[in-house]
Structure 1
Amino acid sequence: MDTAESQGTLLDRRVSILLLAIVATVNGQIRYSVPEEMRKGLFVGDVAKDLGLDVKRLVSGRARLVIDDDSQYVVLNQNKGHIVVNERIDREKLCAKKSPCSFSIEIVLEDPLELFSITIEIQDVNDHAPVFPKKEINLDISESTPTGTVFLLDSAADPDVGINSLQSYSLKANDHFVLKQHTRVDGSKYAEMVLQSALDREEQSKHTLILMAVDGGEPQRSGTVKIHVTVLDANDNAPVFTQSLYKASVLENVLRGTVIARVSAVDADQGYNGNVTYFFTHLEEDSPCPFEIDTYTGEVKLTGDIDYEVSPYYEINLQAKDPWGVVGASKLVIEVADVNDHSPVITLASYSGKISEDSALGTVVALISVQDKDSGKNGQVHLNIDGNLPFKIKSSLRSYYTLVTEKNLDRENRSKYNITLTATDEGSPALTSSKTVVLDVTDVNDNVPAFSQSVYSTLLMENNSPGVALLQIHATDPDQDQNARISYFIIDSEINGNPVSSYFSINAESGVIQALRSFDYEQTKEYKMRVKAQDGGSPPLSSNTTVIVRVQDQNDNPPQVLYPVQTGGSVVGEMVPRSADVGYLVSKVVAVDVDSGQNAWLSYKLQKATDRALFEVGLQNGEIRTIRQVTDKDPVNQKLTVVVEDNGQPSRSATVIVNVAVADSFSEVLSEFTDFTQDKEYNDNLTFYLVLALAVVSFLFITCLVVIISVKIYRWRQSRVLYHSNLPVIPYYPPRYSDTLGGTGTLQHVYNYEVCRTTDSRKSDCKFGRAGSQNVLIMDPSSTGTMQRMQSEKSILDEPDSPLEVS
């Protein structure tokens, strides 16, 4: 027996010779041949060179080894493209007696997916010496045993294969026994010792022989065992088996304790010398036999596990022995029948669990390995998935399959797939196994934000406060995360020559639209703008909608009387003849209201009159008519106060005074009018006070205007100072001040000034606009053409379609 140190030296010497691995390409595979017992890190093969791949391709493709077995005997060095030893390889542990011994690995590359198969053959090294199961063999042989009797000896076990396995037996020279060697069907060898010359117990009762087993390795290894032969008294007949060869068949899934076969041997001797016992011989110590034989009955039972895939048959040597050690030999061959007892095993060799929804058809989702340890049809496997899914299975190399896309994916319709892989073999009955994988579909920005309405409209009461919220628009995006985050913007355009951003603003997050200024229905009744919704994808997608803001009228304008025109220097009046009948049209009050709707519906009422029983005013048309016959007792001067009122809530009104002269001639009116001049002194005083009041109001107005301009100039200078000093400038707007900044040129409140003048004030330098055509009677004592003017204007009034012009 060689020591471990000498074995290591010999191994290193052989490694240096065998490192030149044999590389061959057979059916698209690469085969390497290496000796067993190589140290970790030693070179096995240059796969990059042998496969014609660039080392950069191995790195970019995240090359990795896929090994069916749990042991990682070799690893891949990506940077060099070499396969090197990762752990010690024991050929005997890996393949036992199987020769040649090899294992397969695959190299998987991604982007794009590639698969290469590599077979590594393990060469045997003579690292085991033949070993006998026992240190000594004891044989009891009768002296009457005839020459030529065969004694089957225990076989030596050598786990090496080929030339390194057990090659021959030798027996130390002696006078009685010679050695014969035989070879079994599986190539193993065993020895028989043959009696060459008769024994004589009286001459020598014990013999010691040395049996040596030698392998064919280099250097050669051997093992020995001592044979002690005890010579017994005569027993002339040896047991004889009924068959020279017994055969039996058994299913691999049969239960333990089942009787597999029954053997029988007879001994012609009688009595005690004819008793026969049965034994198994030449069993290897490292391969325990899953069978046992009943010593007395010869029944062979199953006592262990049998597997067709491990050993399809068993060949057992039988021995029958009588009480005196005389033996007979036979053989039992047990064939193991394959049973479909292994379910397919599904393994994901490459799988990320995610796929983009815009992936092209045929995109590889997973690389799947399916293994079945059964043989024949029992090991033929088919892999399937649910047909309703947008995926399909494609066959790949050997037992590999690829899961690829068959239809276009849409995350908005389905964001996750539970894919059940079902592997079924062809056995009877067939065995199946399943594995469910979850595949998430990742989002792509492929959906445009959609508004809930193509056109949004809202109503806004005029004279609103700046900053009031008008409405909230909303758009939806079925995408996910940032691709579904929507921002809102007002598209640049102009309204009345001004940018739309000066009228409205929108909250980019919530979509709330606010008014930036106060609106006037009488200026603009409707505003239109375009709003854009944009998602946060890359590139972003957007859509537009139209927003219409309709300004509602508010009763903020009182009626304006167009006729009769109220002047400060003349007495406006109408003349009614005393012969006028009931219903005589005296005059017509004409008024307008710039508001709309019911705010512009006007009604006329007679508020005051010198004689309320003489006149009435039409509620809808403002016509002043007589309601009774005029008499001589009626005063010449009739003063009527007419109220014009709109229908708003609350309503607003205006009053007009109509002077009516009840007379048949103008001279009668003049005589009556002389009384009116007596009040001239009183009117002069009144005019003085009114002019004084107007001067005070004008002074206050000019003072306020100067103060406002000064404040604005001061703030402008301050903002320039802050601008040049790089300090933050925060604009400040007083409440309701935005209307003055909007360019409308109007004040917030309406200021009405009433000016009363005397009859002489018309001679002053202050001029007031009057209607171009008036159906009025102007009483001017200083004028000589009063009558002619009255008649010309009366002719205009009598025309039914004559328009009223205001200058």
Structure 2
Amino acid sequence: MKSIMPDAMIRRSMLFLILLVQIARGQVSYSIPEEMAKGSMVGNIAQDLGLDLQRLKSGKARIYTRDRTEYIELNRNTGQLLIREKMDRESLCAKTTPCALQLQMILENPMEFYTVTIEITDINDNAPSFQKKDIRFEISESAVAGAGFMLGGAFDADVGTNDLQSYSLKPTDKFRLELHNQADGTKNVEMILERPLDRETQSLFTLLLEAFDGGDPVLSGTVQIHITVLDINDNAPVFTQKVYKTTITENAPKGTVLTVVSASDADEGSNSVVTYYISDTMNKIVADMFHIDEKSGELILNGQVDYEKLSHYELNIQAKDQGGLSNACKVIIDVLDINDNSPSINIVSSSHSISEGSKSGTVVSVLNVDDLDSGSNGQVQCVLNDDISFSITSPSSNFFSLQTEQELDREREAEYNITVICTDEGVPALSSSVSLRVQISDVNDNAPVFEKSHYEACVLENNTPGLSIFTVKASDADWNQNARVSYILEDSTVNGVSVSSYVSVHPDSGLITAVRSFDYEQLKDFHFWVKAQDGGAPPLSSNVTVKIIIQDQNDNAPQVLYPVQTGASVVAEIVPRAADVGYLVTKVVAVDVDSGQNAWLSYKLQKATDRALFEVGLQNGEIRTVRQVTDKDAVKQKLTVVVEDNGQPSRSAVVFINVAVADSFPEMLSEFTDFTYEKQYDDNLTFYLVLALAAVSFLFITCMVVIISVKIYRWRQSRFLYQSNLPVIPYYPPHYADTGVTGTLPHGYNYEVCMTTDSRKSDCKFSTLGGQNVLVVDPSFAETMHEYSTLRGKKETLPDRSLLSSVLKQTRHFVLTLI
């Protein structure tokens, strides 16, 4: 019967906890008291075995117990062994001492195991107890002093000093106690009569028998003894021998006679009749296992004995006569083992896959083989079913290791089915087997191989980003992850820019994709490298060269170089009214940056004020007069010329040309002032006049220097200019003679005269480019002129009107001189 220990006892037990650690050949031992709380620490096995905590994690350390009951658990993070379930020493080991748990700690990669022995020490948690609440005796009054009456004994589940230690009997005027040691370490209590009994004086006695253990505090149990004094029966039965010994094989059938006990009584009549019974003080489980015939004394097997559970029994047999006298003897029964248990095979740890590059002697699996039989019946040998590349050894008792015997080759054998057969040495021998399936994993020993030694592809320019160009393909002779090929774009540059900004490679499929739109005009072709890398560790790889050729596309429209299109001023080509048929007005110059037929240009006159007056050369872009210019032709002519390339589809550019059909500058100027936009200014007119005067004076001096220089240059080049093959249409402005060159086209000189009444907002340019007369009228100048004429129309009195008239006359005279 268990009792609840006070907190003070538990604390004292923990204070006197004895931790014995012994490390030798992979073994460690601990000693702990029973009934420790869940989560209590047994010890730090990592420190005691000198193991690194990282090794516990990487090796997936765990605790293996044979009976599948997990009382102890391992904390891999701290290396501590902790109590998982409360342990009752009495339930685990009963009276066996020492009481120890045999555990194994298993580590993997590489596989290791350690034997852990945990001794469970007893605490005083059980009080002595008796089988019966009271004991009854009938004692003859003729019983002499010294007569003994077997009381059996109390039972205490604890061991050692906590076990049953002493008895006391109260009152003690008639009886005393005598203890008898048993072979199994227990004590039988015999009550000895010290003084004769007198039924007439006292016929009934009630005694208190108390049993004490040696714990701290001391626990006890009691039983009452009721004695009835009988009249005159002065001989007790006597056994032929005090101890009987017998044996029985385990699994013997129920009803088997073990032995016969015999006792005799010297009395006569009913007082000599003896009956036999098993002492009530015996353990109930043991007492129920056997049965004794009350009359014959035959001891009969009443249950099933198992050597593996209990191999030794001791029985107390009582012989009692009719007069109430009794005696006792002991029967010792030894159970003989037979080979009735096959070896039990448990896979402690197993690797389902092993690398083909593993060295000989690599452990694949660890087996725990146990046979509950004893002696040769429990000796086990394990073998493999076939002559393969593996062997099995026994590094320690009950443990077997399956390991490689030679190097493995996955290409030769990718999988092994191994049968381990374990046989005991009993007669007949019993065996068990277990099958293990071991796969040989691949080693990365083959690099990827491309299908081609190099790749080449063509791509049209102006492709959309993300265009799939083509796919590179490589294969690997390895298996699984080692054969998984990834494609990587090797780092390089194209025109100083990383190649990754031009193309990308899909890592799984090898698809090469354009990252940007290619421009043939900037890049004709480029090279790069693609690496195929497998998924092994370390990875293997190979490279291949890829060339991308960019093909031209008609993606550029012609660009007009001349005449220059500007929105800030009006450009006019001057054609004299005396111009004849074929007069070269101007020439449209354009280029196309494409190549081949995409760059062939043609010129067309799309729109004209008078289509019958001008034509455009289809190939050279020259604008010439088709007929003789007449006085009826408008001064202001607008031409629209389309420049078109020969691509498919073709692209074009439009150029707008203003042509002035006039013989004099004022005539031309009056027409082209309509091209300007009007803008009103409210500035002080006097400021403009002063500013215009200063500007004209500066320009006059500058132009005089330029004219003198030009005259000298013309004189030197006159002979070269007379040899020009271009058609010449002479034109002489009124009152001004030509300076020595026939026509206007040969003039290769530029003149620029700026005149304005407000130098910040107006200028007038007249130039001869390649023999053509070009007038550039800035809108601000025309605006200034318009403002001035407006002011005059209002007939207001202005302070400097005569001065403005003089400036304008000088300016007109100077410009006409240039013409």
What range is the shorter-chain TM-score in? 0.5 to 0.7
**Does the 8 A contact of 1:412 with 1:479 survive in 2?**
no
Q: 1:715 & 1:360 partners in 2: Cα distance?
A: 70
Aligned partner (choices 134, 155, 166) of residue 157 of structure 1 = 155
Q: Which residue of structure 1 lines up, in the alignment, with residue 553 of structure 2?
A: none
Deviation track 1:721-740 (CA, whole Å, cap 9, x = no partner) reads xxxxxxxxxxxxxxxxxxxx
Is 1:71 paired with 2:4? no
Q: Which residue of structure 2 lines up, in the alignment, with residue 213 of structure 1?
A: 211
Is 1:714 paired with 2:637? no
**Does the 8 A contact of 2:599 with 2:647 survive in 1?**
no
One-letter amino acid of the counterpart of residue 297, structure 1 = S
Query: How far 1:436 moved relative to its partner?
Result: 1.2
Query: How far 1:715 moved relative to its partner?
Result: 4.3
Distance 1:364 1:709, change over 3 A: farther
SS in 2 for 1:138: strand
Deviation track 1:318-373 (CA, whole Å, cap 9, x = no partner) reads 11111222112211111111222222111111113122233222221111111122
Distance 1:270 1:716, change over 3 A: farther
Distance 1:97 1:389, change over 3 A: same
One-letter amino acid of the counterpart of residue 197, structure 2 = L
Is 1:231 paired with 2:164? no
Query: How far 1:40 moved relative to its partner?
Result: 0.8
Query: How far 1:202 moved relative to its partner?
Result: 2.0
Q: 1:35 & 1:208 partners in 2: Cα distance?
A: 40
Q: Which residue of structure 1 lines up, in the alignment, with residue 249 of structure 2?
A: 251
Structure 2 counterparts to residues 532-571 of structure 1, below 5 A: 538=536
Distance 1:707 1:194, change over 3 A: closer
Query: How far 1:295 moved relative to its partner?
Result: 1.6
Aligned partner (choices 40, 43, 68) of residue 42 of structure 1 = 40
Is 1:290 paired with 2:289? yes
SS in 2 for 1:107: strand
Q: Which residue of structure 1 lines up, in the alignment, with residue 340 of structure 2?
A: 341
Distance 1:707 1:34, change over 3 A: closer
One-letter amino acid of the counterpart of residue 302, structure 1 = L
Q: 1:26 & 1:319 partners in 2: Cα distance?
A: 51
Q: Which residue of structure 1 lines up, in the alignment, with residue 111 of structure 2?
A: 113
**Does the 8 A contact of 1:11 with 1:125 survive in 2?**
no
Q: Which residue of structure 2 lines up, in the alignment, with residue 725 of structure 1?
A: none
Aligned partner (choices 178, 181, 205) of residue 180 of structure 1 = 178
Q: Which residue of structure 2 lines up, in the alignment, with residue 134 of structure 1?
A: 132
Q: Which residue of structure 2 lines up, in the alignment, with residue 364 of structure 1?
A: 363
**Does the 8 A contact of 1:168 with 1:215 survive in 2?**
yes
Query: How far 1:446 moved relative to its partner?
Result: 5.1
Deviation track 1:386-406 (CA, whole Å, cap 9, x = no partner) reads 242211112223322211111
Q: 2:294 & 2:351 partners in 1: Cα distance?
A: 61
Q: Which residue of structure 2 lines up, in the alignment, with residue 352 of structure 1?
A: 351
**Does the 8 A contact of 2:3 with 2:125 survive in 1?**
no
Q: Which residue of structure 1 lines up, in the alignment, with residue 146 of structure 2?
A: 148
Q: 1:59 & 1:390 partners in 2: Cα distance?
A: 31
Distance 1:366 1:269, change over 3 A: same
TM-score (norm 2): 0.56
Deviates more, 1:122-131 or 1:344-353: 344-353
Query: How far 1:115 moved relative to its partner?
Result: 1.9
Identity among equivalent positions (%) equals 47
Deviates more, 1:144-153 or 1:221-230: 144-153
Distance 1:543 1:292, change over 3 A: farther
Q: 1:26 & 1:536 partners in 2: Cα distance?
A: 47
Where in structure 1 are there 5+ consecutive unaligned residues?
452-473, 489-508, 511-533, 545-704, 719-807
Structure 2 counterparts to residues 570-581 of structure 1, below 5 A: none
Query: How far 1:536 moved relative to its partner?
Result: 6.3
Is 1:15 paired with 2:13? yes
Q: 2:427 & 2:150 partners in 1: Cα distance?
A: 43
Distance 1:403 1:233, change over 3 A: same
**Does the 8 A contact of 1:67 with 1:104 survive in 2?**
yes
One-letter amino acid of the counterpart of residue 319, structure 1 = Q
One-letter amino acid of the counterpart of residue 362, structure 2 = T
SS in 1 for 2:271: helix
SS in 2 for 1:714: coil
Q: 1:288 & 1:13 partners in 2: Cα distance?
A: 39
**Does the 8 A contact of 1:483 with 1:535 survive in 2?**
no
One-letter amino acid of the counterpart of residue 409, structure 1 = L
Query: How far 1:543 moved relative to its partner?
Result: 14
Q: Which residue of structure 2 lines up, in the alignment, with residue 433 of structure 1?
A: 432
Distance 1:421 1:18, change over 3 A: farther
Q: Which residue of structure 1 lines up, in the alignment, with residue 86 of structure 2?
A: 88
How many pairs align? 496
Where in structure 2 are there 5+ consecutive unaligned residues?
451-472, 488-507, 510-531, 545-595, 602-643, 652-819
One-letter amino acid of the counterpart of residue 238, structure 1 = A
**Does the 8 A contact of 1:483 with 1:536 survive in 2?**
yes
Q: Which residue of structure 2 lines up, in the alignment, with residue 415 of structure 1?
A: 414
SS in 2 for 1:396: strand
Distance 1:293 1:181, change over 3 A: same
SS in 2 for 1:220: coil
Aligned partner (choices 185, 188, 191) of residue 189 of structure 2 = 191
Q: 1:3 & 1:249 partners in 2: Cα distance?
A: 38
**Does the 8 A contact of 1:412 with 1:478 survive in 2?**
no
Deviation track 1:118-144 (CA, whole Å, cap 9, x = no partner) reads 211111000000000000001111222
SS in 2 for 1:248: strand
Distance 1:422 1:707, change over 3 A: closer
Structure 2 counterparts to residues 619-698 of structure 1, below 5 A: none
Query: How far 1:484 moved relative to its partner?
Result: 6.5
Q: Which residue of structure 1 lines up, in the alignment, with residue 378 of structure 2?
A: 379
Query: How far 1:71 moved relative to its partner?
Result: 1.9
Distance 1:28 1:225, change over 3 A: same
Query: How far 1:69 moved relative to its partner?
Result: 2.6
Deviation track 1:654-703 (CA, whole Å, cap 9, x = no partner) reads xxxxxxxxxxxxxxxxxxxxxxxxxxxxxxxxxxxxxxxxxxxxxxxxxx
SS in 1 for 2:91: helix
Query: How far 1:89 moved relative to its partner?
Result: 0.9
Q: Which residue of structure 1 lines up, in the alignment, with residue 405 of structure 2?
A: 406
SS in 2 for 1:153: strand
Q: 1:449 & 1:56 partners in 2: Cα distance?
A: 36
Q: Which residue of structure 1 lines up, in the alignment, with residue 748 of structure 2?
A: none
Q: 1:153 & 1:450 partners in 2: Cα distance?
A: 94
Q: Which residue of structure 1 lines up, in the alignment, with residue 659 of structure 2?
A: none
Is 1:389 paired with 2:388? yes
Distance 1:706 1:167, change over 3 A: closer
One-letter amino acid of the counterpart of residue 347, structure 2 = L
One-letter amino acid of the counterpart of residue 163, structure 2 = S
One-letter amino acid of the counterpart of residue 417, structure 1 = Y
Distance 1:273 1:65, change over 3 A: same
Q: 1:404 & 1:255 partners in 2: Cα distance?
A: 45
Q: Which residue of structure 2 lines up, in the alignment, with residue 531 of structure 1?
A: none
Distance 1:37 1:131, change over 3 A: same
**Does the 8 A contact of 1:155 with 1:284 survive in 2?**
no
**Does the 8 A contact of 1:58 with 1:81 survive in 2?**
yes
Q: 1:10 & 1:322 partners in 2: Cα distance?
A: 51
One-letter amino acid of the counterpart of residue 278, structure 2 = F
**Does the 8 A contact of 1:421 with 1:435 survive in 2?**
yes
Distance 1:82 1:716, change over 3 A: farther
Structure 2 counterparts to residues 519-534 of structure 1, below 5 A: none
TM-score (norm 1): 0.56
One-letter amino acid of the counterpart of residue 336, structure 1 = V
Q: Which residue of structure 1 lines up, in the alignment, with residue 263 of structure 2?
A: 265
One-letter amino acid of the counterpart of residue 391, structure 1 = F
Distance 1:206 1:307, change over 3 A: same
SS in 2 for 1:349: strand
